[in-house]
Structure 1
Amino acid sequence: MNLQQGNNVVIGENVTFGEHVVIGNNVVVYEGTIIGSNVFIQDNVVIGKQPTRAKASILPEVKKLPPAVIGNGVTVGTSSIIYANVKVADDVFIADLATVRERVTIGEKTIIGRGVSVENDCKVGMRCKLETNCYITAYSELGDYVFIAPGVVTTNDNYMARSKERLDKFKGVTVKTGGRIGANSTILPGKTIHEDGTVAAGSLVSKDVAAEMLVLGSPAKEYKKVATEQLLKNQD
């Protein structure tokens, strides 16, 4: 093992490292975390943090979760936080100030941009691009080659925190393979963007988006088919 670490690094018990791992200053790696080879962890990162529950939270109390697993060739940017029971596949890039909550999986070669928040119980496929300050709500699923532009907001609570009826009805969004969402769009709870479906910037998605269809507006309506040259199958 070739481990290089900066100042004030805290490494918990039973943490395992692959070859050629570089850790910056003021990093905390919690017990049991598994870190692969050729991993670069920048300053002030926290990996393997156990979630804490607010007293008023509607979520059930969670016992201690399994450790985080970080694949080979991963970069974790400055001041990012990766919670326990997260699985990050090989060659993922997580930029500065990102947060990846518990029970999240991230596929290989995906980019998690600066300030992105991926909430609990999400699945993110491979070769996705989640750009600066987008918000992926809990219980969402993103397929492969998904593009989420800056400032996108996804939601999972139709009741906006009112009435107990909502407690068993939380539902995140689904973006299937090749789906794309433009900057500053909002996706309402439970909506599905099908394969190669595309949402124009600034749109409010209140209905499912059909495969290979471009929607726009507030509420978003079908505008036209996605151009043939823009389809995922036609990319190099």
Structure 2
Amino acid sequence: MNQISSSAKIGRNVNIGFFTVIMDDVEIGDNSVIGNHVIIYPNTIIGAGVRIDDGAVLGKLPMRAVNSTLKLYATLPPAIIGAGSIIGTYGIVYRGAKLDEGVMVADGASVREGTSIGQHTIIGRSVTVENSSYVGEYCKIETGAYITAYSHIEDHVFVAPGVVTANDNFAGRTKDRSKYYRGVTVEQGGRIGAQATILPGKVIGADGFVGAGSVLTHDADSGMVYMGNPAKKLRPVPEAELLKNQDYMEEKDHAQKGSNDSFKRIQE
């Protein structure tokens, strides 16, 4: 049995599973599919052709521990899920998060408040994207990666499984440490290998590459490969791998075709 608020606006041809809760003033676009045991909190906006899998939670307010230095946002805007997006099983998108069209948030992943995700980006299984971050278009954040709060990730960035980023040089000590929080920055086309660690405030330049298992303790120059602990500059990224030499119009066409095909299957 479902519980759907009388003020919710449900579009045409929306398929809703069992034991789902849709709260006040939620908007769901045409041809969307909502799974079983889904909870959609007030004011959440869901575009057309969106798929929400079982157990997902959308528009949840963030929690705040008694001793947390972070402020709870009192007036967060609604969560927005762009057309053609997919939220996997037990995925969580917090209130104040915005997903552009065609975004995939895979099983068990979470996107925190104040965070924006660009179109056709993939947030992999069990990934956490913390609050007040930005992730651009056509990015791939792979399984189990951790994107710390206040990070800025530009378009076409690849983050491999198990990558850890940090924003607190004081490791939880000193009462005024929050004044010095700095997320990481990965400029356009940057790549990070599996299990690498990026320390607070560090910048990976455009087309920069940090190798698997590395610990980046300083900024990485554009177009250069860094490896080791601490990571050291090794060599230039091969010319053939630079972003300017990739056919991303073809990738965009493929992503758009995938969204259109998914939309057609939902309609059928």
Question: Can you list the C-alpha shifts for 1:15-36, whole angstroms capped at 9, x where unaligned?
Answer: 1111101011000001111100
Q: Partners in 1 of 2:191 and 2:199 — Cα distance? A: 15
Q: Partners in 1 of 2:36 and 2:232 — Cα distance? A: 49
Establish whether residue 16 from structure 1 lines up as the match of residue 27 from structure 2. yes
Q: Which protein is richer in helix relative to its size?
A: 2
Establish whether residue 65 from structure 1 lines up as the match of residue 65 from structure 2. no
Deviation at 1:163, TM superposition (A): 1.1
- What is the identity, as a one-letter code, of the residue corresponding to 1:96? D
Q: Partners in 2 of 1:86 and 1:167 — Cα distance? A: 22
Calculate the TM-score normalised by the size of structure 2: 0.87
Q: 42, 49, 68: which is aligned to 2:53?
A: 42
Establish whether residue 197 from structure 1 lines up as the match of residue 222 from structure 2. no
* 1:164 alignment partner in structure 2: 175
Q: Partners in 2 of 1:103 and 1:121 — Cα distance? A: 4
Q: Partners in 1 of 2:226 and 2:118 — Cα distance? A: 27
Q: Partners in 2 of 1:108 and 1:83 — Cα distance? A: 18
Deviation at 1:167, TM superposition (A): 2.1
Report if the CA contact (8 A) 2:182-2:201 is conserved: yes
- What is the identity, as a one-letter code, of the residue corresponding to 1:49? K
**After TM superposition, which residue ranges in structure 1, 4 or more long, deviate above 4 angstroms?**
none
Q: Percent identity among equivalent residues?
A: 51
- What is the identity, as a one-letter code, of the residue corresponding to 2:14? L
Question: Can you list the C-alpha shifts for 1:47-90, whole angstroms capped at 9, x where unaligned?
Answer: 00011111011112331422101110000000011000111000
Report if the CA contact (8 A) 1:14-1:32 is conserved: yes
Deviation at 1:151, TM superposition (A): 0.2
- What is the identity, as a one-letter code, of the residue corresponding to 1:213? M
Q: Which runs of 5+ in 1 are unaligned?
A: none
Q: Partners in 2 of 1:167 and 1:225 — Cα distance? A: 36
Report if the CA contact (8 A) 1:50-1:64 is conserved: no
* 1:114 alignment partner in structure 2: 125
Q: Partners in 1 of 2:29 and 2:17 — Cα distance? A: 17
Report if the CA contact (8 A) 2:122-2:140 is conserved: yes
- What is the identity, as a one-letter code, of the residue corresponding to 1:147? F
Question: Alignment partner of 1:168: what SS?
Answer: helix
- What is the identity, as a one-letter code, of the residue corresponding to 1:191? K
Deviation at 1:166, TM superposition (A): 1.3
Q: How does 1:76-95 map to 2 (within 5 A)?
A: 76-95=87-106
Q: Which runs of 5+ in 2 are unaligned?
A: 1-11, 248-268
Question: Alignment partner of 1:163: what SS?
Answer: coil
Deviation at 1:165, TM superposition (A): 3.8
Question: Can you list the C-alpha shifts for 1:113-138, whole angstroms capped at 9, x where unaligned?
Answer: 00000000000000000000000000
Q: Partners in 2 of 1:80 and 1:94 — Cα distance? A: 7
Q: Partners in 2 of 1:210 and 1:62 — Cα distance? A: 36
